[in-house]
Every structure is written in structure tokens, then in C-alpha cells.
Amino acid sequence: MPKTIRIGTRDSELALWQAKTVQKQLEHLGHKTTLVPVKATGDLVLDKPIYELGITGVFTRTLDIAMLNGDIDIAVHSLKDVPTVLPKGIVQAAVLKRGNVKDCLVFKNNEEFLSQKDAIIATGSLRRRAQWLNRYPTHTVVDLRGNVNTRLEKLSEHNWNGAIFAAAGLGRIGLKPETSFNLDWMIPAPAQGAIMISALEEDDETRSICAEINHEETEICTTIERQFLNRLEGGCSAPIGALAYIKNEEIHFQGVLLSLDGSKKIEVTRTEKLGSHPKLAEFCANYIIERGGNRLMDDLKKPKNTINVFSTKTLTNSQKQLFHNDVVVESSDFIQISLNRMTPSVLKPKPDNVIITSQNAVEALLNNFSQEDLRFKNIYCVGRRTKKRIEQKIGVVKHTENNAKKLADYLVEFMDGTKVTYFCSDLRLDDLPTILSDNNIEVNEIIAYQTKYAPIKLEGSVEGVMFYSPSTVESYIKANKTNKIAFCIGETTAKEAQKYFEDVRVAKVPTVESVIELVNEHYV
């Protein structure tokens, strides 16, 4: 039976376009395929820490983990977003014929600002920022993050003169405005405009199939560019541009390294005969290094005395590894928990319906009672991880929701009986008991644990704060200002944050890892 190739992709418009392009090419050759939009990192599980496998790329990490878990056969990426060193067990299986390599300026009204002293240009790329400031040193460059659609929307909303995009990205999803033109003078990111397919190293069949659509000329050129990047970068995000192309059986290469402010620039150009090019990238990188590139890279690697993001929950080392290199993160528990002592009378008579909305409540129950005591008829809970802990230690969960309000709405509609016991904290900010009481369901609240606020006054350099419950929001505002971005784990937390913060972002799924992805999306 012919193999059906599962094509992993992120769910953005551009990522889906790229995945469908690969799908069409494979199916044109007679192979069966299916698209698999991959969930957020928090929903994926590995039996080894990701740092042991070398998984580092912000845009590629989710698909890497899905592949190693056996959920997909191949992953489709923009090659410029792929780390130069792939995770252990994953290899490049093919590169499609390259699209437009250029950067593109989208402007608001007219192009007159190019000849003026003052102008505002938006980009989230260090490379674009540095090259623009090198050419227009009196202009101001502001940060711009998000997918293509989001960045175009932000450009229309702000008083900026223009913003810089990859021409290939705009063209592929049909969003290149008439008020735009390619920046022929700007050296693109290594492998810009190329679509790459990765597969498991041990999967010979899939790799052979992908090889059928590999474009050799693009593979040669992008490999040289990425080798140049790898030789210079040394694990540091830097303003590096590289472009290789083949003409008349010769490989022509341009490379550049700049300081962050664009005031320093070191360039290299070189041409080699096709077939005599294996050392081209190394030669050009060494040329840059010998002319001051090593000093520039050392300056870029110096630690910055700023904290971009603060987490109101202490993060594990594995979680810290998930952040993009540009993000500096610190963390501390803004909430301290103490488990209450509960007497046997709490479970007499044993309730039929029980609500548990946090892992803290689970631990409090386990700390006071035996598993036999906790064999409830119906258990309802909030959160995937709370459910997992309950089913490991107590029993089967009848129903779970992502937040307390949704659970309350479900219970009003479907719960057996009119009484429920709710194990909660002394600080309870959710609407669940109110909704149930308003619908004639008697709620017996048992204070299973105490929640104490433990805020830390943050430095002014913090740009965003990660919140995991309404209580963490309440704790934060007792010592800090709210002129920051609030990255929230779910709708209930976001609702509380919206009372104080203007800019509130909500994770796709209620996990710490998903909040981290939300942070990365903003800073990349």
C-alpha cells in the first residue's frame, strides 16, 4: 500500500501556502499526502528535554517535536527561519526552487521621505534595521512583529512612513500592495525566499520521495549562505546578510555583517566556478572576521542589561530553553500557596459532584485524604494538566474545560443533581459559583488551600509580563505599573488583566509553553 506522507505545517496563512505548494508537487508525482496543522508546543510531549536534542528554532520547534514524536513525516519551513544546525535525528530532505529573494518596502503615502532627514521605518529584523540605518542614518527604526497580515495592519494603524517585508512572503499570499517596491540594494537574509522540507534521518523512504522535488541550484546557493551564517553567527543573533546565485556556471556571492546601529559594515563579494565552491562560504566568512568581524560579533554577544519579559511563575530550565534568543526572561512566584488541613467531615457525606479548578487543590486533597476517600462519582475540572494529575492520582474526570466560566456553563446544562462541592482557594476570582448559584445549583465551597500575594517590584526595562491566573494579575498590580504587555494563559486570566492593561494577549492553549510561544511571536 503506497505511503501517505503526513505534511506538518504551522497554521499561519503563509505556512499553509508553503505546505500546500509542497503537497501539490508531491501529488503531481503520484504520491499520497495529507496536511497536518500542528498544535502548540504545550500540547506536544517528548521523553527527553529539547536542549538535549538541539531543538532551538522559534518557528521550527513545534514541527520538530511533532516529527520526533512520529505525528508527521515531513515539515515545511521558510528556510531562512531554520537554525543552521538541525536537531539530532532531523535532516534537510529537499529545497524547492527559490522565489523572490529581495526585501520589499511597503510605504504609506509616497516615497518622498527617502530624501528627507526624518522618517520612521518599521521592522523586527536586526539585519534590515542595520542596513536601513547604514543607508539612512538619521531615520528612526521601530520594532514590528507578527505574521504578514498583522504587520500590514499595524503599518496602516501607525504613523510610520513604511515597513520592510520579505517580497516572497507578500507575493505568495497575494498581499503585496501597489505602494511597495523591492530594495535591490539590501542584502537579504541567508536562504530568504526558499522553502525547505525536513524529515527524519532514519526515514529513507520519505527522504527519497522528497528528493524528487529538490531543486539542486537552490540547494547549492542556500547551503553556501547558511554555511556563511553559521561560521559568523556562533549562536548569536546578528545583522548578517548573504546571497549566492549561479550564472554562467559560476557562483556569485555577497555577504555582509553590520553593527546593530548600522554605523559599521563589513562586506565581501566573491565568484567561484561551479564545482569549485565547497570552501566559498568559509573563505568569505573568514574575510569578514579578519577585517574586524570578530570584534563586531563580540560586541553583539555582550549581555544586555535589560529584561524583556517577567514571568509571575518560576520557570523551569526546560521552559527557559523555549524562548527565542532575543528574549531575556526572569521569573518568580508572585503567588505563594499553603495547603489547608481538612478534616474527614469535609467528605461526609461523600459528594456526588466535585469541582477542581487547579493542581493546588488536587495536591491539597491528596495531602489530606487517601485515594479510597477520594473516589467521587463525578469529577469536573479546569485545565488539561489538572485533569492529567487528577486521573493519575484520584480517578476519572467526567468533563473538563479550559476555563471556569465554560465549566460552569456546561454544569448548568448537563450536571446530574443540584448540588456540587467546589475545592478552591481562599482567593477566588472566577465566576463559577455565581453562575451555578444563579441557576439553582447549590455550591459547597471548601477552602483547600491559601493563596498569598508575593509581588516583586520590577525594573522599568521589563516590556511584558506573563500571567497564569487572575491571582497573579492581582498580585502584580500591588507593586507595579500596568504600562506593559500582559501575556495571559487563558481567557479568565485575560479578563482580569484587561481591567488594568491596555495590551492583553491570550495564549492559544492554557499551558506555560503556549504563553512562551505567545511571547516569541511578539519578539520575532
Q: Which helix (H) or strand (E) holds 286?
A: helix 280-288
Check if the beta carbon of residue 112 is closer than 8 Å to that of residue 48.
Answer: no
Report, as residue numbers or ranges, the catalytic residues.
81
Roughly what angle, to the nearest 10 degrees, separates helices 359-368 and 384-393? Answer: 20
DSSP 113: G
Who's near 15: CB < 8 A, 6+ residues apart?
9, 76
Query: From CA 269, how far away is CA 261, in angstroms rounded?
Result: 22
Q: Which helix (H) or strand (E) holds 474?
A: helix 470-477
Q: What is the largest CA-CA distance in the chain?
A: 88
Query: From CA 128, how far away is CA 115, in angstroms rounded?
Result: 19
Which of helix, strand or coil describes residue 425? strand
Query: From CA 90, how far away is CA 277, in angstroms rounded?
Result: 25
Query: From CA 354, how far away is CA 408, in angstroms rounded?
Result: 12
Cα separation values, 200 from 75, 89, 172, Å: 10, 6, 27
Check if the beta carbon of residue 435 is closer than 8 Å to that of residue 459.
Answer: no
